[in-house]
Structure 1
Amino acid sequence: MPDAWTASIPEPLSSMSVEPLLGRDYDSDPTLVHERLRRKYGPVAPVDLLGMPVWLVIGYGEVLQILQDKSEIWSKNLDNWRARAEGRVPPDWPVLPAFEVNNSVFRDGQALRRLRDAWTAALAPFQDPARPQAQMLENAVRKYADDLIDVLAEGTSGTGWADLSAQYGRPLPLMVTNRLLGFESARGDDVLMDVWRLLDAGPDAAAASGRLFAAVTELAAAKASRPGDDIPSYMLAALPDLTLEELARELLMLPGLVADFTGTLICNTLAEVMTNPDIRASLSQGIIEETVNRVALLNPPMANLTFRFPTVDVKVGRFVIAAGDPVMVSVAAAHGDPLFGGTADPGAIRSTRAHLAWGAGPHRCLGQRLATRITTIAVSRLFERLAHLRLALPADQLPWRPSPFMRSLRSLPVRFELAQARVRTGGPGAVDEPGTPVSQAAAEEPPRSALWRFLRALRGER
């Protein structure tokens, strides 16, 4: 091994030669990019992220050590970002708005523990299967799934084409988010559309972000005076000194935590089922739950995590990372590390749970059980309602959404045939019964709101 691999290199990140992380190669197969960086640099590499130099940690052991840090050497607080403090981060840097929300994602120590305790209490009723809130939520997820599948089936003669990303995987967890937040249906519909605009980072994302923050601030105030059976009310009950601004900033995480992450997990799991005949042959609930874990391992929805900043100079791999340098840990790259790869057999249906898709340490995801359950129900319901579901493109030609953090499909085109149709005979939680094809049935129609008009427009209808 060359001496350079073991030598400390205190060269400032800002003066180093860095290569772009994102690009056509990364979009099509990030594994190849990770392997190239690993061969050249070892477990940590200097890369360019949309015009900013950052450290990318790609070794499993190094990623795990940083995530599990309890000494607060690795801070999430943006005040420790030296380039930002010195005014060297351009105000129009594309990732900056997502970093400046100033919620618990970017807190450390006691400030983090205070807010996470509130989140733990607020999520508990929806994650404990023995609680009525969790049971009602599961019934609601099934109803949302059926409503979306009904739209897919409208006007078909038993066969059809759909984009399961835009028409199923993404809207379903957005609807769950709306329920967890406790919005009134009319206002919630507008919020859902703004969340969609924000996550797509299009030209109207900035305006959508402003409207969204205003909406959740208004919601926080409403729940403070009129509590309900929802996340904001439970957070206020758990932490009475939580200010309305703090609560609004925390609530802004839900679209990412529940909607974007879970929507990505749903789509990635659907693609895995459709391309793996062994899994497709036995879609029991246990197999689907195991497939969700397998997908989290082999294709984690959040491939790269938001920055950490060392509070002191620290050696990682062959480099000395200076205090205040931005460090992005790559979960996807860590899972591809040969030192961890022996536990990730791509041919096995059952896989290890020693992966990092849900994080680790002080910032580990608190909603793992909720996201897994939503995904399991969504996948199960789709395969119950649609038969002969198959990709409309070869798996290696599926388009991926360019993103420095998420590894999500831009679209998931499929062809399907309707299974024996099922007609709902009641409201949420009602038992379905065999009946005539949904496209002809007198099933309960979803409200013709902006969201549903948008979803129908995706089918070419107005």
Structure 2
Amino acid sequence: MDPQMPPITPFPAGRLQASATEELLTREFDNDPAPVYERLRGKYGSVAPILLMGVPVWMALGYDEVLSVLRNHNGLWSKRINDWRAYVHGEIPADWPLLTVHLNPGVPFHEGRSHAELREAWAAGLKPFQDRTQPQARRLENEIRGHADELLALLAEGGPTGFADLAAQYARPLTLVACNRLIGIDATTDEALIDTWRVVDAGPDAAGAMSRLTTAIGQVVETRVGNPGDDVPSAMLAAAPGLGTDKVAMEVVNLISTLGDFTSLLICNTIVEVVTGDAGVRASLAGGMLHETVNRAAMAKPPNTNLTLRFATTGTRLGGVAIAPGDPVMPSVAAAHADPGFAGALDPHSVHSSRAHLAWGAGPHRCPGDELATTITTIAVERLFERMAELELGLPADHLPWRSSALMRGLSSLPVRYRLRQQPAAAAEQAAPRTGADRPAETAAGPGPRTQSALARLVRTLLRQRS
């Protein structure tokens, strides 16, 4: 036996089922999960038994406990659903809302050798776009800046002052067009952008949109065999040709929900953190330390509030609680960040923020695209505040509309009042570049009407639907 492994203890398999009587997802949780975490911590300590949409699970609330599960030094924790005792015994309802998440065949739910191989493929696929010494990364950054400026130019069409929803009119369309660009889908078409929006929105049209996008991604991957492009599937196929096109396509589909949704939420959270933040936040922004501002927002308001389940591979103890083999544990990032042992050591006035937060996860399942998400967020926030002379929330901070789920929490909209800085004519023209067929003829009376891009059409369509 590995000398570092704890002794196997015959923990009672039914203890979790008997202890979990409190449903996590209540109206109180939806309004503000923070008091719920603290009440659970006060009642149970660092690990609490809860009902997750009727299914008993342990929730890790303490920072040390969450970090221990994520690092998984001794191989005590598995993300394979077949290591979940209740699932194997047929005790999880087929219509349990989170079951499809945990049945995902992608890299987040692999362990061991298969996980390592998929992680290597992902690292190779993302490296050209995360490593700023690479030309692909520099091109992507320039494209994102151009899209951000185009979205801000759309705001300017209504005049120098006004109201906007920065979630719908800026953060989400910016990240979705970047996501489609990375996947290799033609991001200039209305259909691709609208379908990506529908998937992230998780509304009634999400299933059909995901089916169409899955088909489109499969077609992209197939065409990259022997004909590589400047995208993630091409880099993954080059690094791991043995995976095959079907497996690569299945993996790349996950970019839409992970990078697309997570990053748009992080952009909004960072904007709120700047507008409502303390002296430390303002100092980091004013000092050109945007990465610090984004890092602070990820720590204060992590989009991934709770992570997917881990299953004990043997009997163990976590935070003094006996965990039986096959028991599920949900690590709570938001609760861990609020743990007095972690939060109490932070200096709220420091320009530098902690690197010990868990917003990106930790250990073997840490998010492989954290640098890319941070870069996109940094560019979005930088371009926004360079263009804004004044920006304030359209609602009190405690009245902003949040959408909560078991795994994520973010703003459903970000209403603001703004005043734009005046731009020289040359800068204004550069903010909405036009080339080829998109450049209208200009006359002595001035430029002709600009042909709308797919990005502009998407935003205008959404605004019409809301009006």
1:38 to 19, 41, 44: 41
- Tell me if the contact between 1:165 and 1:409 (Cα under 8 Å) persists in the aligned partners: yes
1:137 to 135, 140, 157: 140
1:455 to 422, 443, 459: 459
- Tell me if the contact between 2:149 and 2:431 (Cα under 8 Å) persists in the aligned partners: no
Aligned residues: 443
Would you say 1:424 and 2:429 are equivalent positions? yes
Alignment of 1:364-379 (within 5 A): 364-379=366-381
TM-score by length of 1: 0.89
Alpha carbons of 1:375 and 1:185: their partners in 2 closer, same or farther (altered >3 Å)?
closer
Alpha carbons of 1:285 and 1:111: their partners in 2 closer, same or farther (altered >3 Å)?
farther
Partner letter of residue 144 of structure 1? H
> Hey, what does 2:326 align to over in structure 1?
324
Alpha carbons of 1:214 and 1:426: their partners in 2 closer, same or farther (altered >3 Å)?
same
> Hey, what does 1:272 align to over in structure 2?
273
> Hey, what does 1:106 align to over in structure 2?
109
Alpha carbons of 1:346 and 1:400: their partners in 2 closer, same or farther (altered >3 Å)?
farther
Alpha carbons of 1:230 and 1:441: their partners in 2 closer, same or farther (altered >3 Å)?
farther
Shift of 1:448: 4.6
Q: Identify which range, 267-276 or 198-207, moves more after superposition.
A: 198-207
- Tell me if the contact between 1:216 and 1:248 (Cα under 8 Å) persists in the aligned partners: yes
Alpha carbons of 1:204 and 1:411: their partners in 2 closer, same or farther (altered >3 Å)?
same
Partner letter of residue 459 of structure 1? L
The superposition leaves residues 121-141 of structure 1 with CA deviations (integer Å, 9 ceiling, x where unpaired) of 111111111111111111001
> Hey, what does 1:401 align to over in structure 2?
403
- Tell me if the contact between 2:34 and 2:335 (Cα under 8 Å) persists in the aligned partners: yes
The superposition leaves residues 360-415 of structure 1 with CA deviations (integer Å, 9 ceiling, x where unpaired) of 11011121211111111100101111221110001111111121111211111001
Name the SS for the 1:19 alignment partner.
coil
Name the SS for the 1:20 alignment partner.
coil
CA distance in 2, matches of 1:252, 1:441: 44
Shift of 1:442: 5.3
- Tell me if the contact between 1:298 and 1:344 (Cα under 8 Å) persists in the aligned partners: no
Shift of 1:453: 3.0
2:18 to 5, 15, 22: 15
Partner letter of residue 408 of structure 2? M
Shift of 1:349: 3.7
> Hey, what does 2:120 align to over in structure 1?
117
Alpha carbons of 1:257 and 1:428: their partners in 2 closer, same or farther (altered >3 Å)?
farther
Name the SS for the 1:237 alignment partner.
helix
CA distance in 1, matches of 2:290, 2:110: 35
Q: Identify which range, 88-97 or 331-340, moves more after superposition.
A: 88-97
> Hey, what does 2:438 align to over in structure 1?
none
Structure 1 gap segments, 5+ residues each: 1-7, 431-439
Alpha carbons of 1:447 and 1:52: their partners in 2 closer, same or farther (altered >3 Å)?
farther
Would you say 1:48 and 2:51 are equivalent positions? yes
> Hey, what does 1:218 align to over in structure 2?
219
Alignment of 1:247-286 (within 5 A): 247-276=248-277, 278=279, 279-280=281-282, 283-284=285-286, 286=288
- Tell me if the contact between 1:70 and 1:362 (Cα under 8 Å) persists in the aligned partners: no
> Hey, what does 1:196 align to over in structure 2?
197
Shift of 1:9: 7.4
Would you say 1:89 and 2:92 are equivalent positions? yes
Shift of 1:322: 1.9
- Tell me if the contact between 2:395 and 2:415 (Cα under 8 Å) persists in the aligned partners: yes
- Tell me if the contact between 1:37 and 1:45 (Cα under 8 Å) persists in the aligned partners: yes
The superposition leaves residues 50-79 of structure 1 with CA deviations (integer Å, 9 ceiling, x where unpaired) of 222211101111111111113322001111
Name the SS for the 1:48 alignment partner.
strand
CA distance in 2, matches of 1:370, 1:83: 37
TM-score by length of 2: 0.88
The superposition leaves residues 75-132 of structure 1 with CA deviations (integer Å, 9 ceiling, x where unpaired) of 0111112222222222222222222221100001111110111111111111111111
Q: Identify which range, 206-215 or 292-301, moves more after superposition.
A: 206-215
Shift of 1:211: 2.3
Alpha carbons of 1:296 and 1:281: their partners in 2 closer, same or farther (altered >3 Å)?
closer
CA distance in 2, matches of 1:49, 1:204: 25
CA distance in 1, matches of 2:61, 2:408: 16
- Tell me if the contact between 2:63 and 2:341 (Cα under 8 Å) persists in the aligned partners: yes
Name the SS for the 1:197 alignment partner.
helix
CA distance in 1, matches of 2:373, 2:53: 30
CA distance in 2, matches of 1:282, 1:293: 11
Name the SS for the 2:412 alignment partner.
coil
CA distance in 1, matches of 2:449, 2:134: 27
Alpha carbons of 1:54 and 1:85: their partners in 2 closer, same or farther (altered >3 Å)?
same
- Tell me if the contact between 2:20 and 2:56 (Cα under 8 Å) persists in the aligned partners: no
Shift of 1:277: 5.7
> Hey, what does 1:411 align to over in structure 2?
413
- Tell me if the contact between 1:145 and 1:381 (Cα under 8 Å) persists in the aligned partners: yes
Name the SS for the 2:418 alignment partner.
strand
> Hey, what does 2:72 align to over in structure 1?
69
* Identical counterparts, % of pairs: 50
> Hey, what does 2:242 align to over in structure 1?
241
Name the SS for the 2:356 alignment partner.
coil
- Tell me if the contact between 2:83 and 2:311 (Cα under 8 Å) persists in the aligned partners: yes
Partner letter of residue 273 of structure 1? V
- Tell me if the contact between 1:81 and 1:325 (Cα under 8 Å) persists in the aligned partners: yes
Alpha carbons of 1:74 and 1:428: their partners in 2 closer, same or farther (altered >3 Å)?
farther
Partner letter of residue 262 of structure 1? T
Alpha carbons of 1:194 and 1:302: their partners in 2 closer, same or farther (altered >3 Å)?
same
> Hey, what does 2:390 align to over in structure 1?
388
